[in-house]
Structures are given as structure tokens and as C-alpha cells.
């Protein structure tokens, strides 16, 4: 049979129609630690075909994987920034980070689903921590499910588009190095043949050395820590565009070495919980992915920075 342009177009329309729409919510909560872990938040996700929309507080991200477009909306200023998905930085440092994945063979019921536990871990990558000779480990206890309504649709979406999702743009507002590490873990999770419904992320010193709730450094390491913190403080005092980044990096170092810092029984500096719920496959109108009337362009080009 000879395929015409019209029949090919019809095929793609029908293929898209067979993909169920999906709406769900991810609730992020932090316990312990400093503000570097980010604030508590609730994000609502809408998936339709190869489009994804995330709403959180005043921020909206719209991704169209077929068109390759990324749009970020600021609902306070009524502005929109447009870019390309392939230019968006997911937070993963292509091959530099190592993600350790292991199945614990533990299971439990979450909602109506039988979930099994996987653990993932990586070492936090931060120039400031490297200069101070400090190694921080991020660990994730990830409970995943398969096969139930909504879960299958999300799994199919990740299978088609997971490698191109700019995870950091969908993440929280914590320290950039923390969000980079979380983005790397989320990218690894999306490649699994299952979907996470509960993720518990902890941050802890990688090499132990803990006593009375703080990091015990060698004299040489203590010198490097003081030098790195002094350098960050000098950058903060100068002001300018680098001051905010320096302040966040200094905050995470303080969270690690502060004498009053008390760890929980697991040795974690703080914990972030991500819980997915409210899965619905009810139809989503196309208008959900449209830019509201009255929004003005903020800038052009790459919006991933």
C-alpha cells in the first residue's frame, strides 16, 4: 500500500490520540538542614501526548518534545521565556557523575499500589566542596510501582522522552549543586521500567568522620575549608551576579561543618521527601498548554541558565 502525506499525518494523529492524558502531583518536603535544601512545595504535572506542563507556586514550565520547545512562565510578572529543549541543562554532568543503583528486595503498599524499593546514590559535585577537600554523598530511597492506572502512562512518557527532560528546570529551589545531584538521580530513575511514587533523599558526609553531630576535619582539611569559605565570603561582600551563588554554596558548607549541627541516627544533614499522588487519566484540554493572554516575552534564546 502506498502511503501518502495525508495518511502519514493521520497515523500520527491517531497514535497521539491513543496516548492517555495524565495529571498528578508531586509534594516536596524538607526536614532538618539549612535553606540550601529548598522550600517545601507542591508541583502539579500535566502530560498530553509528548507535552508536559508543570505548575509550582508562581512558576510554570511547558515542554513540547515533538516541537523541541521549552517555555518558562513567571506568573507574578506575567512574562514568558522561550528556548529549545536540547539547549536546556538537565543538571547531569554527562558521564562525570556516577549513579549507584541497587534493589533492596523490600516492598510495601503505597496507596493502592505494591511498591518495591531501589536505592540510588551519588557524590555531590561542587567546586567549593572540592576545594575544601570535602565529599558529600546524596542517597535516595526510591519506591517504584508498575502497571496500575496512571503509572503506565507516566512510564510510557518517560520511555519516549525521559532522556531529554530538563530535570533541573522541573526541580526545587535548593542549592544549585544539590539540585544538580537530584536531577542526576531523577534522570536515572526515569530510565527504569517503573515509576517512583515515593523518594526519600538524604545528604551526608561521604567519608564518615562524624562526632557530636559535626564533621571532624584533619588540620590540612580544616585549612582548605577556611580558605574556601573565606573566598566565598569575599565574593558575597563584592555583590553582583555571583554573590547569590556564593551565598548558597557557603550555606551548604556551613550546614556540613557547623558545630551546633545535629545529625539524625542515619548521619543525614537533611532529608528531602518527594511523594507522587493524585494520578488521573481524565482528558486534558489543549488550552492547558497554551500561553495565557497578556503574557509578554522576557527574553529569547536559551532559557536554561
- Asked whether residue 10 is domain-assigned, the answer is no
Q: How confident is the model over 188-214, as pLDDT tens digits?
A: 999 888 999 999 998 877 765 444 344
> Is the Cβ–Cβ distance between 47 and 65 less than 8 Å?
no
Q: Would you state the cell numbers that stand for residue 189, as one nine-digit string?
A: 530513575
Average pLDDT of the residues in 123-129: 70
Q: CA angle 286-193-172, nearest 5°?
A: 60
* Count: domains in the chain: 1
- Asked whether residue 4 is domain-assigned, the answer is no
Q: Find the domain containing 167 and state its range.
A: 20-299
For β-strands 296-299 and 79-84, DSSP reports them as parallel
Output the DSSP codes for 119-171: EEEEE---HHHHHTT--EEEEEEEEEE-SSTTHHHHHHHHHHHGGG--HHHHS
- Asked whether residue 185 is domain-assigned, the answer is yes
For residue 116, what pLDDT is reported? 95
Question: Cα(37)–Cα(178) distance, rounded to whole angstroms?
Answer: 7
Nearest to 178 by CA among 215, 128, 126: 126
Q: How confident is the model over 110-125, as pLDDT tens digits?
A: 888 899 999 999 987 6
Question: Cα(215)–Cα(235) distance, rounded to whole angstroms?
Answer: 25
- Asked whether residue 7 is domain-assigned, the answer is no
Question: Is it the case that residue 294 has pLDDT exceeding 90?
Answer: yes
Spatial CB neighbours of 75, under 8 Å, sequence gap ≥ 6: 58, 59, 60
- Asked whether residue 221 is domain-assigned, the answer is yes
- Asked whether residue 186 is domain-assigned, the answer is yes
Under DSSP, is residue 296 helix (H, G, I), strand (E, B) or coil? strand
157-to-85, 218, 237, 267 alpha-carbon distances in Å: 16, 48, 46, 36
- Asked whether residue 305 is domain-assigned, the answer is no
For residue 131, what pLDDT is reported? 67
Q: How confident is the model over 30-83, as pLDDT tens digits?
A: 887 656 778 899 999 999 999 999 999 999 999 999 999 999 999 999 999 999
- Asked whether residue 6 is domain-assigned, the answer is no
Q: How confident is the model over 222-281, as pLDDT tens digits?
A: 677 777 778 888 888 888 878 877 776 776 676 666 544 444 455 567 889 999 999 999
Find the helix packing angle between 243-257 and 176-190, rounded to 10°.
Answer: 80
Q: How confident is the model over 138-182, as pLDDT tens digits?
A: 899 999 998 777 888 999 999 999 889 999 899 888 877 788 889
Nearest to 158 by CA among 129, 181, 123, 189: 189
Amino acid at each position: 500500500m502506498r502511503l501518502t502525506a495525508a495518511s502519514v499525518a493521520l497515523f500520527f494523529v491517531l497514535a497521539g490520540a491513543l496516548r492517555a492524558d495524565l495529571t498528578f502531583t508531586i509534594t516536596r518536603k524538607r526536614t532538618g538542614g539549612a535553606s540550601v535544601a529548598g522550600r517545601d512545595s507542591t508541583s502539579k504535572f500535566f502530560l498530553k501526548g509528548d507535552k508536559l506542563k508543570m505548575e509550582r507556586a508562581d512558576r510554570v514550565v511547558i515542554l513540547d518534545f515533538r516541537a523541541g520547545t521549552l517555555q518558562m512562565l513567571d506568573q507574578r510578572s506575567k512574562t514568558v521565556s522561550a528556548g529549545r529543549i536540547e539547549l536546556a541543562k538537565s543538571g547531569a554532568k554527562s558521564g562525570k557523575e556516577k549513579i549507584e543503583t541497587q534493589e533492596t528486595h523490600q516492598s510495601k503498599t503505597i496507596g493502592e499500589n505494591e511498591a518495591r524499593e531501589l536505592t540510588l546514590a551519588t557524590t555531590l559535585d561542587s567546586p567549593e566542596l572540592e576545594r575544601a577537600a570535602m565529599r558529600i554523598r546524596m542517597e535516595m530511597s526510591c519506591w517504584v510501582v508498575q502497571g496500575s492506572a496512571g503509572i503506565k502512562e507516566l512510564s510510557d512518557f518517560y520511555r519516549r522522552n525521559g532522556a531529554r527532560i530538563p530535570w533541573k528546570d522541573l526541580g526545587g529551589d535548593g542549592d544549585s549543586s544539590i539540585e544538580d545531584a537530584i536531577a542526576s538521580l531523577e534522570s536515572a530513575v526515569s530510565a527504569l521500567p517503573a515509576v517512583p511514587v515515593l523518594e526519600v533523599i538524604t545528604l551526608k558526609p561521604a567519608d564518615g568522620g562524624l562526632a557530636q553531630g559535626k564533621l571532624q576535619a584533619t588540620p590540612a582539611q580544616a585549612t582548605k575549608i577556611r580558605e574556601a569559605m573565606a573566598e566565598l565570603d569575599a565574593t558575597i561582600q563584592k555583590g553582583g551576579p555571583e554573590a547569590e551563588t556564593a551565598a548558597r554554596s557557603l550555606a551548604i558548607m556551613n550546614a556540613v561543618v557547623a558545630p551546633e549541627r545535629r545529625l539524625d541516627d542515619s548521619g543525614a544533614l537533611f532529608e528531602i521527601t518527594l511523594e507522587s499522588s493524585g494520578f488521573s487519566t481524565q482528558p486534558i484540554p489543549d488550552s492547558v498548554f497554551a500561553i495565557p493572554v497578556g503574557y509578554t516575552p522576557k527574553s529569547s534564546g536559551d532559557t536554561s541558565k
